[in-house]
Amino acid sequence: MPETLLDLLIVPTWLVPVEPAGVVLSEHALGVRDGLIAWLGPRHQAPSAHQVQELPGCLLAPGLVNAHGHAAMTLFRGMADDLPLMTWLEKHIWPAEARWVDQAFVATGTQLAIAEQLKGGITCFSDMYFHPQVACEQVERSGMRAQICAPILDFPIPGAATPEEALSQAVALVDSHRQHSRLSIAFGPHAPYTVSDPHLEQVRMLAEQLQVAVQMHVHETAFEVEQAVAATGERPLARLARLGLLGPRFQAVHMTQVSDDDLQQLVAYNASVVHCPESNLKLASGFCPVERLWQAGVNVAIGTDGAASNNDLDLLGETRTAALLAKAVAGSATAMGAHRALRMATLNGARALGSAPCIGSLEVGKAADITAFDLSGLAQQPVYDPVSQLIYASGRDCVRHVWVAGKALLRDGQLTTLDEPALVASARAFGERIAAAR
């Protein structure tokens, strides 16, 4: 029987599968067939392929996974900088959202976010924002992979007049995307201080019935925790545990405040933490104890948060910040080495989103979600450890190629499914309208 040709054979200088941990392969190649990784091995043993892509000086890695963000908030980038969290939210962001956020806003903002993330090597992202069905449409058109978290709050939000309407919309999205190969739907109750017990209980019940994830901002600031304890005598994470929300499909975003009891609960329920260091730094929200969580066995992923509080969607830069900050917080230069940082931005993110069987590492049988980073530049020389050079000495401008399910969405730094000049023009038009009304 004749050999079945690979669709694509990629031949980089270095190949970092992430699993097994700490491995860097030289003189190896990766083969893609039908959107999946079909072969990985020494390049001289590679099967024949319809297309061979030689990438000298490049490191091939799993596509980055941005485990938390608010995609359409790219259109609020830089609008209300240098303010504390609650002032930023209550005085600026929430009023702006009430005035400006509609389906057109979400469509343009999400397209802009997808484009920025693809150009930064991200192949999968989690999004929690209004009009989630519009975000789904943009992901579908772009070819990217995503978890879309339908937002739930106790008060009216753009696209849903009541929490019950938001929950109903979320259930409909779950049903309509159940078999989608690149899109998953999750529940996104905003935070413990914006969602009451009855609505959280509804979220828990529906999430259990539908077997979907729950993502929530939790312990973002010390003030949040102190306010909850003063009002109820209970820490927010303990409340979520009491209500039955914690579990392996729960994604706790931020977690800058972690007591011994909090840590025990995260471990006992096998919940994931999504670390957003740059947003936390900019809003002075606190420091997530990443090394402590990691050593206890908690799955820690990484997210950019929204561009309104970061102000970019640069996960490679976020990962460098996370690695450096983890050392300072732990008081140890050996905390969060480069290889573990890359794992946090790939396989750990996939695990948090429930997608590890499909993405997050370069293994035969997984989806061909792959990023090629060019380490041939002046600033990366000499290369002793390509992963260290990627994390500590490289920026997202070194991203050359991105594939999702084997399809090239970024080729030689150019987007293949999105019109970059048109997106820039649309974003500027929104910015001019918003600025003129302020």
pLDDT in tens, 110-137: 999 999 999 999 999 999 999 999 999 9
Give the pLDDT confidence score for residue 438 in this predicted structure: 76
Q: Kindly state the percentage of the chain with pLDDT values over 70.
A: 99
3-state secondary structure of 223: helix
d(CA 345, CA 161): 36
Q: Where in the chain is the domain with CATH 2.30.40.10?
A: 6-62+369-405
Render pLDDT for 201-246 as a digit per residue (tens, 0 to 9).
999 999 999 999 999 999 999 999 999 999 999 999 999 999 999 9
Top CATH class of 6-62+369-405 equals: mainly beta
Grade residue 1 by pLDDT with cuts at 50, 70 and 90: very low
Reduced DSSP (H G I as helix, E B as strand, rest coil) percent helix, strand, coil of the chain, to 5: 40, 25, 35
Q: Which run of H or of E encompasses 272?
A: strand 272-275
Give the pLDDT confidence score for residue 84 in this predicted structure: 86
Average pLDDT over residues 147-176: 97
Grade residue 2 by pLDDT with cuts at 50, 70 and 90: very low
Give the pLDDT confidence score for residue 96 in this predicted structure: 93
Nearest residue to 6 (alpha-carbon basis) of 31, 30, 29, 40: 31
Kindly tell me if the per-residue pLDDT of 313 is higher than 70. yes
Q: Give me the DSSP letters along 53-120.
A: EEEEEEEEEEPEEE----GGGGGGTTSS-S--HHHIIIIIIHHHHHHH-SHHHHHHHHHHHHHHHHHT
d(CA 327, CA 155): 40
Cβ-proximal residues to 399 (8 Å cutoff; 6+ apart), any chain: 119, 120, 121, 316, 371, 372, 373, 374, 410, 413
Average pLDDT over residues 42-46: 97
Instruction: Name the DSSP class of 249.
Output: T
Place of tokens 């190969």: 181
Average pLDDT over residues 9-17: 98
In the predicted model, what is the mean pLDDT of the chain? 97
Both structure tokens of 134: 């519009």
d(CA 213, CA 140): 20
Q: Which run of H or of E encompasses 139?
A: helix 132-142
Kindly tell me if the per-residue pLDDT of 265 is higher than 70. yes
Grade residue 368 by pLDDT with cuts at 50, 70 and 90: very high
Average pLDDT over residues 295-308: 97
Grade residue 3 by pLDDT with cuts at 50, 70 and 90: low
Kindly tell me if the per-residue pLDDT of 410 is higher than 50. yes
d(CA 236, CA 231): 11
3-state secondary structure of 206: helix
Assigned architecture for domain 64-352: Alpha-Beta Barrel (3.20)
